[in-house]
A and B are shown apart, each in its own frame.
Chain A
Amino acid sequence: MSELNRLTIAEAQKGMAEGKFSSVELTQSCVDAMQARADLGAYITPTPDAALEAAAEADKKRASGDEGALLGIPLGIKDLFCTEGVQTTAASRILQGFKPTYESTVTSNLLRDGAVFLGKLNLDEFAMGSSNTTSYYGNVVNPWQSSDKPDMALVPGGSSGGSASAVAARLCLGATGTDTGGSIRQPAAFCGITGLKPTYGRCSRWGVVAFASSLDQAGPMARSVEDCGIMLGSMAGYDPMDTTSVDTAVPDYTAELGAGVKGLKIGIPREYRVEGMPEEVEKLWMETADQLRDQGAEIIDISLPHTHSALPAYYIVAPAEASSNLARYDGVRYGYRADAPEGLPEFSSLEEMYATTRGEGFGQEVQRRIMIGAYVLSAGFYDAYYNKARRVRSLIARDFTEAFGQVDAILTPTTPSPAFGITEEPSGVEMYMNDVFTVPASMAGIPGISVPVGLSKDGLPLGVQLLGKPFEEVGLLRVAQAVENAAGFTATPQLMA
């Protein structure tokens, strides 16, 4: 029983249904794993006691005939989802100690279906980052190690780095993530797991700390395509509290798994061949295409001409929205409030309290993005930056609409490189390049999934990304599973529990 934490969600469901083990045993194995691998920094707030209680409750429910889709399955929750009574920080000092009096819709849905929450997972502060090194609560470490430099701690990617690291290291069976420009797919690729960003509007944003409202989307991160499908079935749904959530029925996302790709058309966008991309990335991408062709898919070269405009447009839209979304963190109603200056009993003004609280409460990357956002929206620049970016966004969306006139899914690499060392982290714009392949789908609002397909020459996982038509996650998962099967990715990380 010691390795229950290594099961997939589907396997665990089966085992519990067959009475082979209980949720308490399964949850205990995850709790043990969390303690054993606390050094990864994956959790900001572990809640083992509450988890074991919930597991016992789930076992009782099962005994009385309940069969919730996730009954008794232990999951980690990205600390961007508000959870009632459990500290929710967004990895920021400014939300230190904040205990929501409400539960996000997505986590409510998971609880409704019987899931057990192990705790709140680390992330980049306010989900801003691609390396999980901007968290106020410390870096997250990738459980994979490079064969070249085994002593070097690697980044798990970001912003859902805690989620990816925890799933990869077997500290939970699955985790929630959020994706604004690649924050599910990129860390999934870096950590050798599967991560799905659904169509914008598929999962409710209610109760999820906002980064960039027009881009943010919650999604599942797990160790198989099937598990992602199971989780999405629970997370997704129309929510009257989020008017950007779309009122369409939630299908069975596992319905078409195993149907193969025979007769499907898969697009290979030529613009994703970027300069300086390691050969191994290109090689795995092409091998995946070949495997799909072998299974009967038609591989078609396509063009997404505005691919390279997506990243610069993103770095206008996302900071602009973020600068406004983060204005509410002012030390008045919740979270951190700075102390008055040394030697003074109080602030001289409200303005001073705001600026000091925000200056101390937000980390550097967040402050940079807030300032960029304020700048591009400021008088005289709005049209040149923000509206220009919105127009470019229309072009990007149009590219995909046209492409999906020809193909059923699009295949690309997820990232231009495997995970890098925490100390080797590129800075500034170079760092942003990590998201070059994931951002276009975010800008267009279409679904994308990263599937691990192989290892780099240094033994680090690499993923490919599949993009699909809006609200056609069922078909996307079907193609993703064909890729998963063909790749047969079974490698496990060195720092696994």
Chain B
Amino acid sequence: MVVQTESFVMLSIVLFVLGAMGVLLRRNAIMVFMSIELMLNAANLALVAFARYWGNETGQLFVFFVITVAAAEVAVGLALIVAIFRSKRSINIDELHEMKG
């Protein structure tokens, strides 16, 4: 059985929406961060599916860049989370309210 491109794209849209909901609903910074990774990987899935559909490599190329950049983001993001945890002893994003106006 050949899986249709539509199925992949539908799955990637579902994953993307799940990730976006996670970002909006989760309060733990690490969970928010993981939800963002889910969104990026949903985009990767769509890219690979489209690359198969079009029969060119541009989509796969894009995925390589996304994976690399996501790794760089992880490095910076986790460092920031550790720094916040050191000073606040919490990574709940609702408690980030030093500034108001």
- A, B from the same assembly: no
